[in-house]
Amino acid sequence: MDAKPPARTVPIIGLLAAVLLTVVWWMTSPHRHSGQPSLVVYCAHDAVYAEPILKQFEAQTGIPVSIRFDTEATKSLGLIQRLQSERDSPQCDVFWNNELLGMLSLEQGGLLEPYRGEGWKRLPDEFRDPEGDWVGFGGRLRVWIYRPNDIAGDDTALGEELQKSPERFAFAKPLYGTTLTHYSLLWHVLGSEALKQRHDDWLSRGWVEVNGNGVVQEVVSAGTCVAGWTDTDDAFVALDAGKPVAMVPIRIEGKTICIPNTAAIIRGSRHRKEAEQLIDYLASANVEIALSKSASRQIPLGPVDPSQVPEQVRPLLEAAQESWSLREILPARNECLDWLKQRYTGS
């Protein structure tokens, strides 16, 4: 007959188990960092570009930062949905979005807290919320990426070539990211029915729909397509790799499409003071210059010394200031997104 353990062993085992669970929770908690709670940042910008910026903030201020990125496929939309689902129990302090319209939807939903600090003050009116709910910085332009050996490099010639070879044009699925912003602007300018008709026409004529702006530059770089819609950061990837491509800003009724990064404090932030410091840091001239020097070549939107900006980026500074005010098109974005969801997912 097996001997029974002493009666006091069972509660000791239970106590040890509880301690172990507590240690595991503490070690894996996003708020753990050398005994100091972390500033939790949800970030839709590419990790390879954003993480060095956030780590530099951490090193300069001593404020620990815990970062949550999203997938390439869903980008900002996934994080926006997460923030909406966490409304009653916010886990995030600062949201660094890689576009504007999703941030506007959070603002409309009452999920942002206003802050008009030094970073907000240095940005032009068109790239900040009047009440301080968000601030924009480091923009990207929507561009045609094209093969100069196959097509002339201006908007008119590109359009003529696409009429002749429609099957050799690529664009990203418009359900996500900056192509959703592009479609939302077209919805706003052309009207819903006109855009729906154009979308159907493009697909029926053989335009190539791919999963992301990065894939657009890949198929154009490879010569599978002669041109496509993408962003400046993806076009620079191809140029840096020595691909035989060029780019020109897309214009709609004479204006460019400049999509800023945006940053905002989430309502219910548990680290308000630290969150304000990060907002000012992200919207600073130093960070805009740093982003312009990264491989993504983000375009400074506030005042900077042009000599500190890479030569390739300087011609884009003026084009960024000639852009549409995207703050006006949130209703179009919501309507367009509803249509795209129904079309692509049936929801």
Query: What does the pLDDT read at residue 101?
Result: 87
Does residue 248 share a domain with residue 165? yes
Does residue 48 share a domain with residue 153? no
Average pLDDT, the chain: 88
Look at residue 5 and tell me if it is in a domain: no
pLDDT at 105 over 70: yes
Q: Which long-range contacts (CB under 8 A, 24 or more apart) does 78-87 make?
A: 79/42, 79/43, 79/44, 80/105, 80/106, 82/42, 83/42, 83/111, 83/266, 84/109, 84/111, 87/111
Look at residue 63 and tell me if it is in a domain: yes
3-state SS assignment for residue 258 = strand
The owner of tokens 């493009």 is 202
Model confidence, pTM: 0.83
Query: What does the pLDDT read at residue 347?
Result: 74
Question: What 3 state SS string does 326-346 have?
Answer: HHHHHHHHHHHHHHHHHHHHC
Band (22; pLDDT cuts 50, 70, 90): very low
Are 184 and 336 in contact, with CB atoms under 8 Å apart? yes
- Between residues 197 and 32, the one the model is more confident about: 197
Give one DSSP letter per residue of 94-163, joined into a string: EEEESSSHHHHHHHHTT-EE----HHHHHS-GGGB-TTSS-EEEEEEEEEEEE-TTTS-SSHHHHHHHHH
pLDDT at 276 over 70: yes
Band (328; pLDDT cuts 50, 70, 90): confident
The owner of tokens 């919320």 is 129
Does residue 131 share a domain with residue 206? no
Band (165; pLDDT cuts 50, 70, 90): low
Look at residue 15 and tell me if it is in a domain: no
Which one of 145-154, 182-191, 201-210 scores highest in mean pLDDT? Answer: 182-191
Query: What does the pLDDT read at residue 77?
Result: 72
- How many whole angstroms from its chain centre is CA 335? 20
Does residue 240 share a domain with residue 266? no
Over residues 245-263, mean pLDDT: 95
- Angle between helix 285-293 and 47-61 (nearest 10): 140
Give CA–CA dist 256/323, Å, rounded. Answer: 4
pLDDT at 177 over 90: no
Does residue 235 share a domain with residue 273? no
Look at residue 281 and tell me if it is in a domain: yes
Bridge partners of 247?
Answer: 145
Give CA–CA dist 281/261, Å, rounded. Answer: 13
Are 112 and 268 in contact, with CB atoms under 8 Å apart? no
Does residue 153 share a domain with residue 69? no
Does residue 252 share a domain with residue 154? yes
- Between residues 238 and 71, the one the model is more confident about: 238
Longest dimension (CA), the chain: 93
Look at residue 27 and tell me if it is in a domain: no
Over residues 217-221, mean pLDDT: 97
Query: What does the pLDDT read at residue 46?
Result: 87
Q: Pick the range with the lowest mean pLDDT from 55-64, 95-104, 112-121, 187-196.
A: 95-104
pLDDT at 190 over 50: yes
pLDDT at 12 over 60: no
Q: For a pLDDT cut of 90, what percent of the chain falls above it?
A: 74
pLDDT digits (tens, 9 = 90+) for 26-63: 343 444 444 567 999 999 988 999 999 999 999 999 99
pLDDT at 268 over 90: yes
- Tally of CB atoms within 10 A around 263: 28
Domain range for 295: 36-139+259-317
Q: Which two tokens stand for residue 15?
A: 């106590």
- How many whole angstroms from its chain centre is CA 134? 14
Look at residue 2 and tell me if it is in a domain: no
- Between residues 287 and 157, the one the model is more confident about: 287
- Between residues 163 and 190, the one the model is more confident about: 190
Does residue 160 share a domain with residue 81? no
Look at residue 30 and tell me if it is in a domain: no
Does residue 195 share a domain with residue 163? yes
Write the CB contacts of 253 (distance below 8 Å, at least 6 apart in sequence): 189
Query: What does the pLDDT read at residue 167?
Result: 73
Are 71 and 78 in contact, with CB atoms under 8 Å apart? yes
pLDDT at 256 over 50: yes
How large is the C-alpha radius of gyration of the chain? Answer: 23
Does residue 263 share a domain with residue 130? yes
Q: Tell me how many domains the chain contains.
A: 2
Look at residue 251 and tell me if it is in a domain: yes
Are 87 and 110 in contact, with CB atoms under 8 Å apart? no
pLDDT at 5 over 60: no
Query: What does the pLDDT read at residue 168?
Result: 85
CATH of the domain at 306: 3.40.190.10
Query: What does the pLDDT read at residue 16?
Result: 52
Does residue 233 share a domain with residue 269? no
Does residue 246 share a domain with residue 118? no
Q: What is the four-CA torsion angle of 231, 234, 240, 244, rounded to 10 degrees?
A: -80
